[in-house]
Amino acid sequence: MGKQLAAAITKYNDEDPSASIQVIHKDVPTELKEGEVLVRMMLRPINPSDMFCMRGRYGGFAPKQLPAVPGLEGLGIVNKLGPNTGSRVEEGQRVVAVPWPTAGGEGTYQQYVAVPEKDLVVVPSNVDDDMAAQFLINPVTAYGFLEVIQVPKGEYLLQQAANSVLGKELISMAQRQGTKTINLVRRHEVVHELKQLGAEEVIVTTDEDVTARVMQITNGKGAWASINPIGGEASRYLPSCTRQGGKVHVFSLFKEEVIVPMFDLHFRQIQWLENLPSDQARQEVFTKVMGFFADGTIKPPHASVKYSLDKAVEAVKKAMDGVGGQGKVMLEDKFAQNEE
């Protein structure tokens, strides 16, 4: 097969992630290892976590050297089966991986990726490409939160940034399993949409005393657990909204710090968790989440705009600028889609 295109990190740039990326040519994996499958990539979202990789700040991205290829999620087609494979996938099937081999610098921002067959999940025919490409980062995380937290019947889960893609998916999955949610947003115009998705309560943080309102909703008990995806000043009041001995889950920070009130930490036994336990990464969980895609429980928005892989620098700049709550910026590979 020769060479392939890849959008690789050639140097880390904390100020401008797009300056870390360069489109290069690299070898296509031809000698597949035992149990590996060659996947040709079709679509890859550009997530905030991908830009943390470009900044050199993402703990799950640890290549031994640069250049290295980022890209934590995406959709591809099985191109070739390696030795002792074929029990899970067939050539020509659309697949996602959990995880893609991004940690070592072989992420999805290239045309071909060699992946262990055991890490692949087949995409059902009724799940379209744009949705399937977003399988890992938000849906698996949202499902993982619900599995770990296990909110008892009648109690509430509190989440910040509820209007994010992850927030909306969490609302949909929570409603499906009977978990009630209290959702914090900053704008009135998103309240109706979240209610339509199944949110029991939506609080506009610019208008109300959040702690007082949460206590009113929960009859003075506080939320069973809380989710904080943004950090910064917004993390200050979350513990006071959470029950005695409850847990505040922190992840995907957009701010440099999390504010931890010492009173809640010491006297109310609030627990702060940085991420989900690793034992949640099980194949049956991934299969179940894909089922949520197939039955319509999860409906990630389609891409707001797509760029070809050779325009990766422009695509990252667009993702940095934001898309105003619309779908993600994605890198597409029409060559891979059309190749025989």
Please state, in angstroms and rounded to a whole number, the distance separating the CA atoms of residues 205 and 195.
16
Q: Which of 74, 82, 71 minimizes the C-alpha distance to 37?
A: 82
114 and 145 Cβ atoms separated by less than 8 Å = no
Asked if pLDDT for residue 137 goes beyond 80, the answer is yes
What pLDDT is attached to residue 14?
A: 93
Asked if pLDDT for residue 276 goes beyond 50, the answer is no
Please state, in angstroms and rounded to a whole number, the distance separating the CA atoms of residues 70 and 50.
7
The token duo for 2 is 């020769």
Other CB atoms within 10 A of residue 295 CB: 12
Mean pLDDT to the nearest integer, 333-337:
60
What pLDDT is attached to residue 142?
A: 84
At residue 266 the predicted structure's pLDDT band, cuts being 50, 70 and 90, is very low
**Which of 74-83, 153-162, 306-315 is predicted with the least confidence, judged by mean pLDDT?**
153-162
What pLDDT is attached to residue 258?
A: 55
Asked if pLDDT for residue 4 goes beyond 50, the answer is yes
What pLDDT is attached to residue 59?
A: 81
Q: Which of 226, 154, 230, 159 minimizes the C-alpha distance to 197?
A: 159
Render pLDDT for 176-206 as a digit per residue (tens, 0 to 9): 888 999 999 999 999 999 999 999 999 999 9
Render pLDDT for 44-89 as a digit per residue (tens, 0 to 9): 999 989 999 999 988 889 999 999 999 999 999 999 999 999 889 9
Render pLDDT for 92-122 as a digit per residue (tens, 0 to 9): 999 999 889 999 999 999 999 999 999 999 9
Q: Which residues contact 140 (CB under 8 A, 6 or more apart)?
A: 98, 285, 286, 289
Cα torsion 99, 103, 108, 113 to 10°: value is -80
More confident call, 263 vs 50:
50
Render pLDDT for 223-261 as a digit per residue (tens, 0 to 9): 999 888 776 666 677 888 999 888 888 765 554 555 555
* Helices 283-294/165-176 angle, 10° precision: 90
Render pLDDT for 286-305 as a digit per residue (tens, 0 to 9): 888 899 999 988 888 899 99
What pLDDT is attached to residue 188?
A: 93
Mean pLDDT to the nearest integer, 311-318:
97
Could you please report the per-residue DSSP string of 124-163? PTTS-HHHHTTSIIIIIHHHHHHHHH-PPTT-EEEESSTT
What is the residue-averaged pLDDT of the chain? 86
Domains of the chain: 3-134+300-338 (3.90.180.10), 138-279 (3.90.180.10)
Q: Give percent of the chain with pLDDT exceeding 90.
A: 61
